[in-house]
Structure 1
Amino acid sequence: MSVEQQKRGSGDDRRAAIGRAAREIIVEKGLEGLRTRDIAARVGINIATLHYHVPSKEALVSLVAETIRDQFKQQAARHPREGKTALELLRMEFDDFAETMDEAPDLIILLAELTERARRDVAISAIMAPMGSYWRSQLADILRLGIEDGSFRADIDPVSGALLITGALSELARTRGKFGPAPQLFAEIERAFVRPSNKS
């Protein structure tokens, strides 16, 4: 390995450590409690080194968003979608969501915190909005596939349907299942879209 590769690898490791520390602090204290000195102390670096890797708060939030995207990509890679029907894909979305709630509850808290802040902060909204758009577009594609393969009702509007699903799942996560267990919500969502002859 060349010196340049070693430096790049070391820089990537440092950025990853900063991202983890920032995530931990956001979960513990919220975005309002995110302080660069606390991140630097947790990582074991000085403020100048921290600012070399993340020069602004926007860059820090962008780095955190990057770690979230990477986490979701890793989850998707563990559960390949190729060759699945629309109904199977929808159920996989539910399974992945339940897995995140059970195994990575801090991620749910982190997303809720960033999403709420994005309502009031244009810079953070610009970072978070593409993640939400991507999630909705994935679900809209599943609904379109279901219309095409006959799994779902032919009169569904995929974009509106995706918004209904993401809204319901987001509220489930925000309330931590306070209003009922996740499987019941998943079943209700499924019944809303699946053609009666295909319900099982």
Structure 2
Amino acid sequence: MQPDPASRVGDTGGEVAARVRKVIATAGVSQREFARRNVMDPSKLSRSLSGTRRFTVAELARIADTTDVDAAWLLGTRTEAAARPSAVRRDRASAAGAPQGGRPLQIVRETVRLIAERGFHAVRVADIAEACGTSTAAIHYHFPGRDELLEAAVRWCVDEDSARRANHIADADGAADELRRLIELRTPYTRLRRWQWSIWLDLWAEAARSTAVGRLHIEHGRQWRATVADVLRRGVGQGVFRPTTDPDADALRLTALIDGLAAQVLAAAPGSGAGTSPDAMRTALLAYVDATLAVHRPSPED
């Protein structure tokens, strides 16, 4: 009989946590990155490793899938030597076309794509299974409930958005350029950016109905505003933004304007000529920055 994926794994002696720590060490990544790869809440992973929380069967299944270790070994029902995959098994797994990043990440990515295309309430577990080329039982094995799958999808979106944001401004030429790049990144010009905004709008609505997702949404919004506030703070120090700038308050106003304009852009069909266009959104945002934040230096003719 298969264990319930949602059930907690007994770990009185800390053996399960020790095995997971060994897997993390072998992976050679930070604990936070390991949590990201396995679509886990970093705080839950930390508590499970410290013994104040027990892993679920589904969490260990995801870890086993993404790190190519045996789930039975993680559970303690098989020795490490017996659990070690042979070269033949690895070759067979490769030949079978295992999804990049493992099955859990494939499930999450397909969930996000379907949410963007259809809306959360129109997406069924059967749809996700079909998109992944697997069974609904396999979906539930990694993510026992719909709420857990939604939380994983939101967490993946948050992590991906944070990484894109950091990469987009990494080589910016000063704070003013950083802010322009952030505005560009948030303007839904491309299909991918519209797709991302569609996800956020749908998940924002879900956030009001789910405590776990709500916390993720609030934390992501806080991090996004903090990024903008830090850019404004650096800009004041560089003399490109006005000394009267209140980084936190101005970041709140600017991010609220970005969110509102993006919602208006998505409400209009691409190419229809109706509603707010991405160009109009970008122009309005840059005009706002110029009028309220930027330092205006006199021209040589003045």
Short-chain TM bin: 0.7 to 0.9
Are 2:94 and 1:6 aligned?
no
Question: SS at the partner of 2:68?
Answer: helix
Give the alignment partner of residue 45 of structure 1, picking from 128, 134, 137: 134
Contact 1:101 1:173 in 2 (8 A): no
Q: Please report the RMSD computed on the Cα atoms of aligned residues, expressed in angstroms.
A: 2.8
Q: Bigger relative contact order, structure 1 or 2, given CA contacts below 8 A and separation 6+?
A: 1
Alignment-mate amino acid for residue 164 of structure 1: R
**1:83/1:101 CA distance change after superposition, 3 Å:** closer
Call closer, same or farther: CA 1:131–1:198 in 2, change over 3 Å. Answer: farther
Q: Which letter maps to 1:190?
A: V
Larger mean CA deviation between 179-188 and 41-50 belongs to: 179-188
Amino acid in structure 2 at the alignment position of 1:172: L
CA distance in 2, matches of 1:77, 1:87: 15
Question: Corresponding residue for 2:276?
Answer: 179
Q: Which residue of 1 aligns with 2:23?
A: none
Shift of 1:82: 4.7
Q: Secondary structure at the match of 2:265?
A: coil
Asked if 1:135 is matched to 2:197, the reply is no
Q: State which of 168, 187, 193 in structure 1 corresponds to 2:257.
A: 168
1:67 aligns with 2:168: no
Richer in helix (by share): 1
1:75–1:103 CA distance, 2 compared to 1 (3 A):
farther
Deviation at 1:73, TM superposition (A): 4.4
Q: Which residue of 2 aligns with 1:102?
A: 190
Secondary structure of the structure 2 residue equivalent to 1:19: helix
Q: Among 206, 211, 236, which residue is 1:147 paired with? A: 236
Q: Relative to structure 2, which stretch is displaced further, 3-12 or 36-45?
A: 3-12
Paired residue type of 2:222: S
The CA distance in 1 between the partners of 2:186 and 2:158, in whole Å, is 14
What is the aligned length?
Answer: 196
Q: Distance in 1 between matches of 2:189 and 2:226?
A: 21
- The residue type equivalent to 2:104 in the other structure is R
Structure 2 unaligned spans of 5+ = 1-63, 71-92, 267-274
- How far did residue 112 of structure 1 move? 0.6
Tell me if structure 1 keeps the 8 A contact 2:154–2:213. no
Shift of 1:143: 0.9
Give the distance between the partners of 2:174 and 2:249, measured in 1 at CA: 21
2:289 maps to 190
1:24 corresponds, among 113, 119, 132, to: 113
Give TM-score scaled by structure 2 length.
0.58
Q: After TM superposition, where is structure 1 displaced by more than 4 Å over at least 4 residues in a row?
A: 7-11
Q: Deviations over 1:29-55 (max 9, x none)?
A: 322223222211221222221112112
- The more displaced of 181-190 and 138-147 is 181-190
* Counterpart Cα distance in 1 of 2:251 and 2:162: 20
Query: For the pair shown, which has the larger CA radius of gyration, 1 or 2?
Result: 2
Distance 1:150 1:131 in 2: 29
What's the CA shift for 1:175? 1.1
